[in-house]
Amino acid sequence: MTVKLQQIDDCRWRIPREGAMRTEGLVFADARMIATLQEEQALEQVRNVATLPGIVGPSLAMPDIHWGYGFPIGGVAAFDAEEGVVSPGGVGYDINCGVRLLRSALTANDIKPVLAKLADTLFRNVPAGVGSERRDLKVSLAEQRRVLERGAAWAVARGYGETEDLRHIEAGGMLPDADSELISERAMERGRAQLGTLGSGNHFLEVQEVEEIFDAAVADVLGLCTGQVTVSIHTGSRGLGYQVCDDFLKRMLQASRKYGIELPDRQLCCAPLTSPEGREYLAAMAGAANFAFANRQIITAWVRESFEQVLGLGPAQLRLSLIYDVCHNIAKWETHTVDGRARRLCVHRKGATRAFPPGHPETPEAYRAVGQPVLIPGDMGRYSYVLVGSAGAMAETFGSTCHGAGRVLSRHAAKKVAHGRRIEAELAERGILIRAAGRAAVAEEISEAYKDVAEVVDVVRRAGLGKIVARLRPLAVIKG
């Protein structure tokens, strides 16, 4: 089935309203990206989302859009508090998957002599891989409930990191209104031993070098300069978030029937935001989101510890400070101005990053003048980007941008391309060390499996959704 597309300009495409659509679709992409998309069902998914009750503004898609469960990955949709719905498919299985970025007082030359030892130590100290389990962290069931309610603040209280870190996390590292009683026993069990683990797939831990600065004034405010060592952590809520999504998909399928919501695709199952089912999903989702915030906070402490071990330097010399931590799979209550009126909306971001502009009260004070940091990982063989949010994003996308490069090859296809090659050696030739839980994980994540993230962020820049600040090159990659 082909989806009608009208080109608006060189980076915007409209899917006109027709049939059951309640609003139009708006896709941010260049002509080449659109050409590859039309063979996929991702645009059809943008159109399907536009049929959901209470949607406000267009059904949006970022330039890294690809096919996902119900909603496309790279999709943004906002819903009215009274008329709208909440959908687990609009958040995704990995609730509060996100990225955090640490800066350091080190240069790439400082760590090059010990890079292999640093990679080994990080790989040992941060469990990675499918089903990876905790190191030495023991959490009782009662305490796990506190994790789900307090997020990163729980981790800091337990000695993982500093209070200062909390100021540099989206939502302060804790979504309010989380209710651990709404999370199934099974989800609790799955999460129990997974706090402080990386997981698999595109999740990673990277030691990086700032390769290029594009905006010196903003980079200065974020504390970034060329040649500096940074660390990125990309992971989410592991098996716990997966189980919460799975549990609620079943309930939402029933709820959709109960409330008479017509679905073009069962995977879009949802419930009114005013219904018990809707409220309960949001409270369970907030718990899983807080688990993910705590997860990234604990890993951060182990990263700091690893650097201290290998370099023999103290925290004051390393200065591994948290620049920012952003979610890219979440539904949140936010206030947005629509047609000149401030409205409280439930914004679904699935594979999309919040990108609030300069001056926004939710942006940490330190960055208030330049905008919220936006962290966009690329693939392990190339680079990642740091952006800041802009007024354009607030006006057009409910303060959102892309979240990454976006796959172009399926995992299976990537493995075929990698077959017979020595990917580790190829990366080493480019100065990138990799430590991974398995060979298959590396093969599935080869550069060729992804779009060039430089092209993705360039669409974001041209569309005025964000400002490009810096490009980071991987030096050592820890993969599940």
Partner DNA sequence: ATGTAC
190 binds DNA (CB under 7 A): yes
Residue in this structure with the two tokens 């590292």, named with its chain if needed: 173
Cβ 94 to DNA shortest distance, Å: 4
Q: Which is nearer to DNA, 203 or 461 (CB)?
A: 203
First vs last C-alpha separation in the chain: 36
Rounded Cα distance, 329 and 69, in Å: 12
238 binds DNA (CB under 7 A): yes
Alpha helices in 312-347 (DSSP H): 315-318
Question: Is 138 known to sit in a ligand binding site?
Answer: no
| Residues in 122-151 at the binding interface with DNA, rule: CB under 7 A | 130-131
Residue 401 interacts with DNA (CB under 7 A)? no
Nearer to DNA, 88 or 357 (CB): 88
Per CB under 7 A, 239 contacts DNA? yes
Query: Binding site annotation covers 380?
Result: yes
Closest approach of DNA to the CB of residue 357, in Å? 28
**Which of these, 45, 42, 169, lies nearest to 102 by C-alpha position?**
169
Rounded to whole angstroms, how far apart are CA atoms 141 and 144? 5
- In whole angstroms, the minimum distance from the beta carbon of 200 to DNA comes to 4
Per-residue mark of binding to DNA, 302-331 (x: CB under 7 A): ------------------------------
Which of 25, 63, 98, 199 binds DNA (CB under 7 A)? It is 199
Nearer to DNA, 186 or 319 (CB): 186
Count of positions (residues) in the chain: 480
Structure tokens at 113: 């002599």
- Residues 282, 227: Cα–Cα separation, whole Å: 42
Q: Which is nearer to DNA, 131 or 464 (CB)?
A: 131
Annotation-wise, does 182 bind a ligand?
Answer: no
Pick out residues in 66-125 that bind DNA (CB under 7 A).
93-94, 97
- Residues designated as active site: 403
Does the annotation list 403 as a binding residue? yes
Residue showing tokens 């082909």: 2
Asked if residue 404 belongs to a known ligand binding site, the reply is yes
Q: Are 478 and 206 in contact (CB under 8 A)?
A: yes
Which residue in the set 87, 180, 202, 363 belongs to the binding site for DNA (CB under 7 A)?
A: 202
Q: Is 405 annotated as a binding residue?
A: yes
For the bound state, the minimum distance from the C-beta of residue 355 to DNA, rounded and expressed in Å, comes to 21
Q: Give 136's contacts (C-beta < 8 A, 6+ positions apart).
A: none
Decide whether 104 or 329 has the Cβ nearer to DNA.
329
Output helix, strand, coil percentages for the chain, rounded to the nearest 5. Answer: 40, 25, 35
Instruction: Write phi, then psi, for 240 (nearest 5 degrees).
Output: -65, -50
Bridge partners (DSSP) of residue 235 are 98
Residue 443 touching DNA (CB under 7 A): no
Q: Can you spell out the DSSP letters for 137-164?
A: ----HHHHHHHHHHTHHHHHHTTSS-HH
Would you list which residues are annotated within the binding site for Mn(2+)? 94, 203, 234, 328
